[in-house]
Amino acid sequence: MGLLEKIDRRTGVMTRMADTLGADFAAAIAQRPEAVRDYRQAVMRCTGCGHEGECTAWMQSHPQAEEAPDYCRNKDILESLAKA
């Protein structure tokens, strides 16, 4: 699998985690256009994570949640966005 395919797949995983937590990157970017940098960094952190299978399984069993799993590299930013 190529890098662009991996980034695309992980963008989907991260977006699904954001939805699970109620975090809205689009709203954050609309309020602060520079937040697009935070979004890109979050995608890249997700791309480098070794927990994709665990993460996907966790999201299947947690359609909605208030907290991300402890291993989530984007836990802090996603939970912060969810509270905004």
Task: Give the tens place of pLDDT for each residue, 27-66.
Answer: 999 999 998 999 999 999 999 999 999 999 999 999 999 9
Place of tokens 């509270």: 83
In whole angstroms, give the CA distance from residue 82 to residue 66. 8
pLDDT bracket for residue 2 (50, 70, 90): confident
In whole angstroms, give the CA distance from residue 76 to residue 82. 10
pTM over 0.85? The answer is yes
Instruction: Report the C-alpha dihedral over residues 72, 8, 84, 55, rounded to 10 degrees.
Output: -30
Task: Give the tens place of pLDDT for each residue, 10-21.
Answer: 999 999 999 999
pLDDT bracket for residue 84 (50, 70, 90): confident
A 10 A CB-CB count for 4 gives: 8
